[in-house]
Structure 1
Amino acid sequence: MGKRRRVAERRRTGPAVVGGMIAVVVGGAGVGAYALYGGGAAAEDNKATTAAAHKKAVKTGPLSAAEVATTAQTFLTTWQQGRLPQAAAATNDPAAATALLTGYAKDAHIQGLTLTPGAPQGAKVPFTVKGTVSYQGVSKPLTYSSAFTVVRRAEDGKPYVDWHANVVHPDLADGDTLVTGESGTPPVKALDRAGGEITEAKYPSLGSVLDGLREKYGKKAGGKAGIELRVVRGKESKAKKLSDKTVLELSKGTPGTVKTTLSPRMQAAAEAQVAKRARASVVVVRPSTGEILAVANSGHGFNTALQGSLAPGSTMKIVTSSLLIDKGLASSEKQHPCPKYFTYGGWKFQNDDEFEIKNGSFKASFARSCNTAFISQAPKLDDDDLTRQAQQVFGLSMNNWAIGVPSFDGAVPVQSAAQKAASLIGQGGVRMNPLNMASVAATVQSGSFHQPYLVSPEVDGRSLAHASRSLSPSTLSQLRELMRYTAAAGTAAEAMSGLGPDYGAKTGSAEVDGQEKPNGWFTAYKGDLAAAGVVQAGGHGGDTAGPIVASLLRMG
């Protein structure tokens, strides 16, 4: 009996000594099961301690100068040495970086790189690129500047190059590539209406226009392609209607010739005017024909004048006024409400400085740009009324303009409730550019829509867009009176001083989220000239875009 008891005791205590590991594993499993059902405080404490230790190990906060310098050196050195996987690993998007850096050597045929960093500006590191582009026995040196920003990755706290395509070359947008080879299209020699050659050196605003002309007319104009390094646009850039861009010409092709409608005198003046203000754009057209006489932007990258998509603010009231007059909801000389506030669709709208006009006419409201005079009519309009008016009378928002280069034709979507009301004063979903608003003024001046164009349709037999109807004589007469009165005694009077009596204008200010000052708009006509301009973040249109537009109209 005693012997059996000693054996049993040995059996009970033996595994605890001999099988200590087993006891730990079993204990762990038991704790795990318990934790699953709501217990395991000790295990949870261990997890919290481990997580806290891991979190403490991850660096946060601003990058040190040493981190920026080391990351920049690693990236630039490995790229220069052709160790592309290592260079890509120094970025926060290794897959995209590998693809573009590989194409840089393989498709762009850029060799013998020397990458020289400049002095970092905080986390931003400028650098210069020197190399040679070689293709089919033809070589040419390549030099340019670029930059990248070093960022701390949240997951591990390590510094990496913030990857975007423009790190490789400043003309690249994400999704674009660099390619060297026979140019996709032959070069073109663009001429102004007087037969003079148009060059980017002479007219800095026209770089993107020349790219667009080449893309559309290079093959049709009879030229022969050369060899070049060029930016080939990706999906996102094509959606924005950006054209391929020549970076370096290795051998010249034989250009074809394309004549445009641009006036050398007007274009030079437009360039000089927009240069006086940051982010300014302007377009001048001839109302009787639709010919584009000038296109200029103070920023020489994206062509806001032709391709911009901005809320036009109160210049849109020209289109809205034509609709209200057509429907009998307003008349130039008749009394029209202009209260301080008007609520519609849950939004409370107000006028600039909360002004009101008591017992005033619609003409007075238009000239002073009373928002509530237009918003107050929203309950009487169908959701698609403004869209149909813009399309049928002014030729807008149908994506069918064929001006000869890429352009945006305006957008006036069907909207309801508060957004419908906002659209009546050029906010909401309404989007325009100076080309569109110059065309609106031109339609009022000429009495009917003529699609603007930069290259005559006779050059390639293309069809121009048409509006399905014109304004009635009564509506047209009142609309001209509204714009004439605004130019003479309203918000446009200062800019348009001395240009009357055969003139008309409308100012606009468009609020932009996160922007301290609104975009300033101005559109006007004088004789057989119409123009529109915008100064982004400039403030009131009469003070900013107005002088630009008026100075060009004085040349008529």
Structure 2
Amino acid sequence: MGSRRTLLAIAAVATSLAVVTAGCSGGSKSKPAASGGTSAATSEGASPTDTVAAAFLAAWQSGDYTKAGSMTDLPDKAGPRLKQVMESLAPKSIVLKLGSQENAPSSAAGSSSASGSATPGAPSSPATPNPLANAVHYGFAVTDTFDDGLTWSYNSTMSVLPPTGNGPALVHFASAIINPQLSAASNLKAVPPSVPVADRSGAPLSGTDHPSIASIVTKLAVAKPQNGTEPSLQIQFVDNNTGTQIPGSNTVQLGAPNATSGLQLASTIDSKIQTAAENALKPYPNSGMVVIKPSTGEILAIATNNKSNVKMAYTATRAPGSTFKTVTATALMLGGMKLTDGADCTPTAKVGTEVYHNDEGLANGFTGANLLSAYEQSCNTSFVNATIGRNLGLDSLSKTAHDYYGMDQPWDMGVGSATYCTGGSQQVPAADTHSLLAASAFGQGKITMCPLTMASVAATVATGQFHQPILIPGYQAPAKAQPLPATVDANLQTMMRGVITNGTATSLAGIAPTLGAKTGSAEPNSTDKTDSWMIAMDPQHDIAVSALVLNAGFGNSAAGPAIAAMMKAAGLS
């Protein structure tokens, strides 16, 4: 193979692929241009193997791995394997350029995988012909582009089996087509340089000492270099199962080899508060707590006591119960309601066919309730009656949560973008019926939260302005929200302080005169036992916190005492 007959045809295919690559941009999948790929390969003189070689590379480059796999002799395996490797490597873009047969070695990379190993000295069997005996071998160039303009370029080869009978030409697939050093048991991973992580005081921060934040420390260690360091990246060949680098395998260095030498990454974590939070949760299995500095959004502690989910504090998706009345009260006051306006605490409230009740302590309701006392005593029916009676829109709570508390949008705390504490894209989706709006008014319905997001709600009340939680000091977070009106914020602080002095958060009494809180007991779908919630904020100490204990009853029974223990141990009382 490799005759002059094919050289011009393949050159035409390579040119068409160059047209395809011109449209590629970082982070997007571009479709082949109409004049590129397979259509150009059908020009005069192009053979069936030329055509499939070009089309295979065009499909791979565009991200259509299923289509690429369909052009191989392993259609059920090739597509998923291409997808696995490319998603693991995660370049912003890839450019594939087909070369000529003459530039390809006589046996394509990966072809050995088809026939196994030979026995030395054994005669060849004419009954078992080499399946690649008639294959056409092509060379091609690969260029992967990553952030900061870093590129990885190398050459690879593939073998194309000519048509047989009525069947088309097919690429003989093996992992080594993707990279000549890649085996079926390995994968590719682009790894940023790692640096030691410190707490806010500069002391070393270890995931071993603080298991609740072990994965966060790992992510921070490879966060994008700060302080103008030169870009750097390592391409590693890793084990398919463990994700760890294969001993003795090659490492490809991109950019500066010692870009982070002598550096460390400062985090916002306060080791004293982190330890206090972890210890405070020890009596409460399946619990989580997040502590935030309201003036900046800096996360001071993330603690979890949950063997099955050590990330529970920032990944749980639970109804927040009555702690969410803070957002509902905001919506009501934005609509003109005052603290002294009536909010009837009836024994039950019916909306449509649904009947809503209070917790057992308020089974009979109470007379003379207004917005302030309803919040202090956590009367569900007051919030249902006020929300429906004042004709709040079906999207009112969702809009308030987004516009003033930064919900329903991705947060980037310094470890990548995510919408936390929801199985979808919204913690507070708009209600589609008034019955659902009524349930949402006291933190049920389709609303989901976790200690991270509810600590942020408390922090917003403490300052009147949402600051997206961050893990790196000064990190430019993308999520934004408008400030609370001054009167509304002052009222919310009064309401939260009243929950401690006159209401349901007695476990926080006497800790600090400017401390405010809101209790919550939420009904998860999975159990009859309610989750115990508490949020708290203290503008004087510039602190906000949320705690959640699954299936532990009232907020004042578990979450409240955990917050009290943390604040006392951290010297915040």
Smaller-chain TM-score bracket: 0.5 to 0.7
Does 2:525 align with 1:509?
no
Work out whether residues 187 and 218 of structure 1, in 8 Å CA contact, stay in contact via their aligned partners in 2.
no
TM-superposition CA deviations, 1:43-93 (whole Å, max 9, x none):
xxxxxxxxxxxxxxxxxxxxxxxxxxxxxxxxxxxxxxxxxxxxxxxxxxx
Q: Helix, strand or coil for the counterpart of 1:532? A: strand
| Alignment partners' CA distance in 2, 1:231 and 1:362 | 58
Does 2:545 align with 1:531?
yes
| Alignment partners' CA distance in 2, 1:497 and 1:262 | 27
Does 2:311 align with 1:303?
yes
| Cα distance, 1:407 vs structure 2 | 4.8
| Cα distance, 1:287 vs structure 2 | 0.8
Q: Which amino acid aligns with 1:375?
A: V
State the partner residue of 1:419: 436
Q: 1:396 to 1:182 in 2, by over 3 A?
A: closer
State the partner residue of 2:492: 479
Q: 1:375 to 1:269 in 2, by over 3 A?
A: same
The match for 1:451 among 468, 490, 496 is 468
State the partner residue of 2:455: 438
Does 2:420 align with 1:404?
no
| Cα distance, 1:482 vs structure 2 | 0.8
| Cα distance, 1:196 vs structure 2 | 1.7
| Cα distance, 1:299 vs structure 2 | 2.2
Work out whether residues 413 and 477 of structure 2, in 8 Å CA contact, stay in contact via their aligned partners in 1.
yes
Q: Helix, strand or coil for the counterpart of 2:564? A: helix
Work out whether residues 200 and 206 of structure 1, in 8 Å CA contact, stay in contact via their aligned partners in 2.
yes
Work out whether residues 307 and 408 of structure 1, in 8 Å CA contact, stay in contact via their aligned partners in 2.
no
TM-superposition CA deviations, 1:104-153 (whole Å, max 9, x none):
xxx9xxxxxxxxxxxxxxxxxxxxxxxxxxxxxxxxxxxxxxxxxxxxxx
**TM norm structure 2:** 0.59
| Alignment partners' CA distance in 2, 1:223 and 1:267 | 32
State the partner residue of 1:545: 559
State the partner residue of 2:387: 378
Work out whether residues 336 and 360 of structure 1, in 8 Å CA contact, stay in contact via their aligned partners in 2.
yes
| Alignment partners' CA distance in 2, 1:281 and 1:406 | 21
Report 1:12-161 matches (<5 A): none
Q: Which amino acid aligns with 1:413?
A: P
Q: Helix, strand or coil for the counterpart of 2:196? A: strand
Work out whether residues 267 and 293 of structure 1, in 8 Å CA contact, stay in contact via their aligned partners in 2.
yes
| Cα distance, 1:500 vs structure 2 | 3.0
Q: Helix, strand or coil for the counterpart of 1:376? A: helix
Q: 1:182 to 1:425 in 2, by over 3 A?
A: closer
| Alignment partners' CA distance in 2, 1:215 and 1:323 | 41
| Alignment partners' CA distance in 2, 1:231 and 1:443 | 44
Work out whether residues 267 and 296 of structure 1, in 8 Å CA contact, stay in contact via their aligned partners in 2.
yes
**TM norm structure 1:** 0.60
State the partner residue of 2:341: 334
Q: 1:250 to 1:423 in 2, by over 3 A?
A: farther
State the partner residue of 2:209: 202
Work out whether residues 268 and 299 of structure 2, in 8 Å CA contact, stay in contact via their aligned partners in 1.
yes
Q: 1:401 to 1:377 in 2, by over 3 A?
A: farther
Q: 1:248 to 1:205 in 2, by over 3 A?
A: farther
| Alignment partners' CA distance in 2, 1:524 and 1:545 | 11
Work out whether residues 266 and 472 of structure 2, in 8 Å CA contact, stay in contact via their aligned partners in 1.
yes
| Cα distance, 1:473 vs structure 2 | 2.2
Work out whether residues 288 and 305 of structure 2, in 8 Å CA contact, stay in contact via their aligned partners in 1.
yes
| Alignment partners' CA distance in 2, 1:439 and 1:551 | 20
| Cα distance, 1:224 vs structure 2 | 6.4
| Alignment partners' CA distance in 1, 2:220 and 2:333 | 40
Q: 1:307 to 1:405 in 2, by over 3 A?
A: farther
Q: Which amino acid aligns with 2:321?
A: G
State the partner residue of 1:521: 533
Q: 1:186 to 1:287 in 2, by over 3 A?
A: same
The match for 2:292 among 285, 295, 318 is 285
Report 1:190-339 matches (<5 A): 190-214=197-221, 216-217=223-224, 225=234, 257-299=264-306, 301-329=309-337, 331-339=338-346
Q: Helix, strand or coil for the counterpart of 1:508? A: strand
Q: Which segments of 5 or more consecutive residues in structure 1 lack a partner in the other structure? A: 1-94, 108-176, 233-244
Work out whether residues 358 and 380 of structure 2, in 8 Å CA contact, stay in contact via their aligned partners in 1.
yes
| Cα distance, 1:400 vs structure 2 | 4.1
State the partner residue of 2:479: 465
Q: Which amino acid aligns with 2:465?
A: S
Computing the radius of gyration over CA atoms, which structure comes out larger, 1 or 2?
1
Equivalent residue pairs, number = 369
Work out whether residues 409 and 419 of structure 2, in 8 Å CA contact, stay in contact via their aligned partners in 1.
no
Q: 1:463 to 1:524 in 2, by over 3 A?
A: closer
| Cα distance, 1:406 vs structure 2 | 5.5
* Structure 1 stretch displaced more, 207-216 or 220-229: 220-229
Report 1:168-207 matches (<5 A): 184-207=191-214
| Alignment partners' CA distance in 2, 1:536 and 1:179 | 40
State the partner residue of 1:490: 503
Q: Which amino acid aligns with 1:425?
A: F
Q: 1:405 to 1:335 in 2, by over 3 A?
A: same
Q: Which amino acid aligns with 2:209?
A: K
Q: 1:463 to 1:201 in 2, by over 3 A?
A: closer
State the partner residue of 2:351: 344
| Cα distance, 1:276 vs structure 2 | 2.3
Q: Which amino acid aligns with 1:535?
A: V
| Alignment partners' CA distance in 2, 1:306 and 1:273 | 17
| Alignment partners' CA distance in 1, 2:450 and 2:400 | 18
Q: Helix, strand or coil for the counterpart of 1:285? A: strand
Identify the structure with the greater helix proportion.
1
Work out whether residues 227 and 250 of structure 1, in 8 Å CA contact, stay in contact via their aligned partners in 2.
no
| Cα distance, 1:391 vs structure 2 | 1.0
Q: Which amino acid aligns with 2:383?
A: F
Work out whether residues 200 and 269 of structure 2, in 8 Å CA contact, stay in contact via their aligned partners in 1.
yes
> What is the aligned-residue RMSD (CA, Å)?
3.2
| Alignment partners' CA distance in 2, 1:534 and 1:260 | 24
Work out whether residues 413 and 472 of structure 2, in 8 Å CA contact, stay in contact via their aligned partners in 1.
no
| Cα distance, 1:228 vs structure 2 | 8.1
TM-superposition CA deviations, 1:222-280 (whole Å, max 9, x none):
67659685788xxxxxxxxxxxx866895999876321100011111112222321111
| Cα distance, 1:328 vs structure 2 | 2.3
| Alignment partners' CA distance in 2, 1:350 and 1:549 | 28
Work out whether residues 529 and 553 of structure 1, in 8 Å CA contact, stay in contact via their aligned partners in 2.
no
Work out whether residues 457 and 464 of structure 1, in 8 Å CA contact, stay in contact via their aligned partners in 2.
no
| Alignment partners' CA distance in 1, 2:466 and 2:194 | 33
TM-superposition CA deviations, 1:341-376 (whole Å, max 9, x none):
001132100101223011123222111110000111
| Alignment partners' CA distance in 2, 1:394 and 1:338 | 27
Q: Helix, strand or coil for the counterpart of 2:209? A: coil
Work out whether residues 411 and 468 of structure 2, in 8 Å CA contact, stay in contact via their aligned partners in 1.
no
